[in-house]
Amino acid sequence: MNNILYILIFSTLLFPYSDSGKLFSMETEDGKTETKQDTVEIEEKLAAVRIGDKWGYINVAGEVVIEPQFDHAHSFHEGLAVVRIGDSDSGKYGYINVAGEIAIKPQFHKANAFSEGLAHVMIGNKWGYIDREGKIVIEPQFDKAFSFKNGLALVRENDEKKDISILKESS
């Protein structure tokens, strides 16, 4: 019971959102000021939650909307979330959509959130990049890789301590 209460409090703190980005105040009949926040429903406003030994997702009301079925789960980014099937040593990572459907089959040794339409994933012991369909668009060749920002991503190759940037091709 304490875990569920904690999740509800956490989700309330995590999900406040205003479509105008502002809180508004109004004076009540008894002269007190009451602050409220206008809310709108957003596709990615789901939080990963562990129930028992499995992970699922709850919405802003604290309701389970994707049943706990994953061995690990991350937040949604660009409509997809990283999930792991299996233990941390031999399990595989893939992606689900906000309906809880497998969007990209679990097949990666490690995986990270999408940014600018690409995600960096580990195959074997090298990092590369996939698109939202799971197609490899930059072959795994890096010792380390980071998310794209403004069309650039930081990578490290050949175990050198030299970081380089790679440019994402425009489509």
3 three-class SS: helix
DSSP 69-132: EESEEEEEETTEEEEEES-TTT-EEEEEETTS-EEEEEEESEE---BTTBEEEEETTEEEEE-T
What whole-number distance in Å separates Cα of residue 118 and Cα of residue 135?
10
Contacts of 163 (CB under 8 A, 6+ apart): 154, 155, 156
Q: Which residue has the tokens 């389970």?
A: 64
Residue 141 carries which DSSP code?
E
The string of pLDDT tens digits covering residues 45-76 is 899 999 999 999 999 999 999 999 999 999 99
Question: Rounded to 5 degrees, what are φ and ψ at 133?
Answer: -95, -5
Residue 76 CA to residue 47 CA, distance in Å, equals 8
Q: What is the pLDDT of residue 81?
A: 97
Domain residue limits, the chain:
1-78, 112-171
- This prediction has a pTM of 0.72
Residue of 127, 87, 85 whose CA lies nearest to 104: 85
pLDDT tens readout for residues 135-144 = 999 999 999 9
